[in-house]
Structure 1
C-alpha cells in the first residue's frame, strides 16, 4: 500500500504542513503502508527543505525506515516504512 500527500494547497500555512505530515505518518503506521509519497512541488525548494527538516527530527526519523529523493522529479520524496 502506498499513501500520497500533495502539499501544493497548503504550501504557505506552516501549522497545516506539520499537521498534514504528522497525519500521513500516523496513517502509514496505522495502515501498515510501505511507502508515503510526499509532493512538496518544485517551486523555490523552500517547502521541500521544510519537509526534509521535519523528517530529519529525531522523533520523526525513528518512525520510518528510509527516505528517498526522486531522481527524476525534484518535487517528490518517498518515505519508506518497515512495519
Structure 2
C-alpha cells in the first residue's frame, strides 16, 4: 500500500456522500473546463519546448494570463450589476 492510500480512501468516502456528490458533479463545469481551454486554445495537447523548466515557464505564464482574463471578465460583470 502507498503511504497516502488511507487518505485517498477517506477522500473517496467523502466524495460519495449525498452533499458532495452534487457538488462534485459541477467539477466538470469549473475545474476541468480550464484545462480543456488550455489544451484547445493554448497548445497544451503537445509540448513544443524541450525541458521541464521551459514548460513550467510556459504553463505559469499561460495560466497567469487566463487568470487575468477571468479577473477582467468578473470585474466587468460586477460594474454592470452595480450600475
TM-score (norm 1): 0.30
Q: Which has the higher contact order (CA 8 A, sep 6+)?
A: 1
Query: Which structure's residues are more often helix, by fraction?
Result: 2
TM-score (norm 2): 0.30
Q: Which has the larger radius of gyration?
A: 2
